[in-house]
Amino acid sequence: MPLAEKFSILVLILSIGAQLFGRSLFGKCVKPVFVFSVLGNFGYAFYLSFLQYHAFLQPFREWPYFAYYVGWRFFSPIIVALVFALAAKFISEFLNPRFNERFLEKEESWLLALGVFLTGYPGFLFYIPLMLVVGLFISAFYHFFGKGRAPFFYAWLPVAIFAILLKSLIPQSALNFLII
């Protein structure tokens, strides 16, 4: 499992702990956690680029080739995940008020964005359908027992961990058709 996935799982576990022990505090901290995750992933990509440059590209290749290589290899998955995470956040924030706040609580759009971003690309392609299936089961359970609206607040982050672990079990050769 790559270091970026270990970092993502650590951030998600710490976020789940914060969720369980201080929901009101966590609502204020979820945005900084997202920003920290973005900076951590980009910092790791810069570190890998630095190592790549000094390992074998420095004496043999030109700068444009190196920039193209590290851009596609290290930065494009992070940028794709970030774009989809922010798109999911803004779409959920746009649609939720139109349906009288029926689907998400206030902090859940950030939890969605954090889950999408930390599962990475192509991991969020597993995360989103997985979350839809989990949400369907939670909603069916709540509907069956007549409990009203099903909260997904505590489901976003554990499902993201499960999606990361699921992605790490699938051989890379099977994931190559999903990669840009």
**Sign of the C-alpha dihedral, residues 18, 35, 113, 77?**
negative
Amino acid identity, position 101: E
Residues 18-49: tens digit of each pLDDT: 888 877 777 778 889 999 999 999 999 999 99
Residues ≥6 apart with Cβ < 8 Å to 36: 11
Encoded tokens for 122: 């192509």
pLDDT > 90 fraction of the chain, expressed in percent and rounded: 36
- What mean pLDDT is reported for the chain? 85
**Which is more confident, 161 or 52?**
161
DSSP code string of 127-138: HHHHHHHHHHHH
- In this predicted structure, the answer to whether residue 160 has a pLDDT above a threshold of 90 is yes
Average confidence (pLDDT) over 106-123: 90
Cα-Cα end-to-end distance for the chain: 20
Encoded tokens for 131: 């979350």
Neighbouring CB atoms inside 10 A of 87's CB total 12
Residues ≥6 apart with Cβ < 8 Å to 164: 5, 8, 9, 12, 118, 119, 120, 123
Please give the pLDDT value at position 60.
61
Give the up-direction half-sphere exposure of residue 177: CA atoms within 13 A in the CB hemisphere: 2
Q: Which of 153, 120, 121 is nearest to 8 (CA)?
A: 120
Encoded tokens for 89: 């956040």
pLDDT > 70 fraction of the chain, expressed in percent and rounded: 89
Please give the pLDDT value at position 172.
66
Q: Indicate whether this model's pTM tops 0.75.
A: yes
**Which is more confident, 12 or 171?**
12
